[in-house]
Amino acid sequence: MDKRIQMTTPLVEMDGDEMTRIIWQMIKDELLTPFVDLKTEYYDLGLQKRDETGDRITVEAGEAIKRLGVGVKCATITPNKQRVEEYQLHEMWKSPNGTIRAILDGTVFRAPIVIDSIKPVVKNWKKPITIARHAYGDVYKGTEYRVPEKGKAELVFTGENGASFRETVYDFECPGVLQGMYNKDSSIRSFAHACFQYALETRQDLWFSTKDTISKKYDQTFKLIFEEIYEAEYRARFEALGLTYFYTLIDDAVARVIRSEGGYIWACKNYDGDVMSDMVSTAFGSLAMMTSVLCSPDGKFEYEAAHGTVTRHYYRYLKGEETSTNPMATIYAWSGALKKRGELDGLPELVSFGEKLEEACIDTLNEGIMTRDLVGLVEEGTPRAVNTLEFIRQIRGRLERKLEA
């Protein structure tokens, strides 16, 4: 009889590219299939397959997450001009993450994996800070114009049912620049729901910040929508769990974040989230330790690592050189997805497996065994740098002992 932990609903498994594709297989072989009767619906999002299918495979994977509820994704190449030549692509396919995000209407939450021996640059940070970035609209969908000469710029809106608006933006007396951007109530609402739900789920306070003192209509709308949804649908549940929702001006938020201990979710508009997530992850230590989960407003989840396919390591790997690429964030994508699947399907053994896998990772690091990227960040003890496979096998040894206990 198969003594491995059983699953009921399959996970949507999305394979990827380069070094992370190699690590993906190692994780499955060493840390998952020996212990879990892994059920997955497999989608190969490797660049070659995306090209062969005209990127239909990415859309199918997104639809599968909608249907099954939980996915786990390997890092993938977002093609640029150089990749189009390297892989002789039919087209410069769009970012798979963007495609899946659009299908799920989701918000991305990023949080660092924190260990004792790596101290954040900000010395009072004790717990992870999770950044929730609204990944739709604003400057990312903006229209820009390089104003070449003297002239008048206007903002014009023509409504379908007769609403109209026209206002001078600026009377240019010389060349300059101009930008128009937008967002939609529906997208802001989804963002708000995703944030409130994730806060309840992870039992953390939620902070939200914009610049509504300056942006009295645009940012104000974000603030009001969050407030309305919180009062109508979430306040009671937050209070029952002793959690708070807290809105503040972004300037104030930045100051508070730096002085805080961490341990909350900071929701940001698109641009703020882009910049702040890089700042927070760098201050916590390493991109290789950033986890990422996409949550949709109707409760679907996609787990992944925040980093890319680690191309430079892959080329070294192809030449037969030893690589010490950090698999932590990719392992956590799997453990996160398995825990969520276990929770949804009422499989405590699967949840417990995910937890033990994470504990085994942390124990390995705490005992000073780590990949090369982390060694330089450790302040105490004498860490030992190992290659990727050795690191994963060290985790496996600890995991086996935990599962036997």
**Contact residue for ligand NAP among 9, 220, 248, 311 (CB under 6 A):** 311
Distance in Å, CB of 69 to ligand NAP, minimum: 21
Residue 325 is a binding residue for ligand NAP (CB under 6 A): yes
Tell me how crowded residue 48 is: count the other CB atoms within 10 A of its CB: 12
**Contact residue for ligand NAP among 40, 58, 76, 335 (CB under 6 A):** 76
Residue 309 is a binding residue for ligand NAP (CB under 6 A): yes
Q: Which does 274 bind (CB under 5 to 8 A by kind): Mg ion, ligand NAP, none?
A: Mg ion
What whole-number distance in Å separates Cα of residue 286 and Cα of residue 72?
21
Q: Are 20 and 305 in contact (CB under 8 A)?
A: yes
What whole-number distance in Å separates Cα of residue 316 and Cα of residue 196?
43
Stretch that binds ligand NAP, among 70-78, 195-203, 204-212, 344-352 (CB under 6 A): 70-78
Six-digit token string for 283? 């201050």
User: Smaller CB distance to ligand NAP: residue 149 or 321?
Assistant: 321
Distance in Å, CB of 249 to ligand NAP, minimum: 31
User: Smaller CB distance to ligand NAP: residue 10 or 308?
Assistant: 308
Residue 308 is a binding residue for ligand NAP (CB under 6 A): yes
Distance in Å, CB of 272 to ligand NAP, minimum: 19
Please identify the residue of the shown chain whose CB is closest to the bound Mg ion. Answer: 274
Could you tell me the CA-to-CA distances from 200 to 166, 196, 240, 243, 299 in Å, in that order?
42, 6, 10, 8, 12
What whole-number distance in Å separates Cα of residue 172 and Cα of residue 151?
5
Q: Which helix (H) or strand (E) holds 260?
A: none
Stretch that binds ligand NAP, among 206-214, 221-229, 303-311, 339-347 (CB under 6 A): 303-311
Q: What would you report as the CA-atom Rg of the chain, rounded to the nearest whole angstrom?
A: 23
Residue 97 is a binding residue for ligand NAP (CB under 6 A): yes
Residue 326 is a binding residue for ligand NAP (CB under 6 A): yes
User: Smaller CB distance to Mg ion: residue 205 or 278?
Assistant: 278
Angle at 67 between CA 105 and CA 309, to 5 degrees: 65
What whole-number distance in Å separates Cα of residue 228 and Cα of residue 20?
42
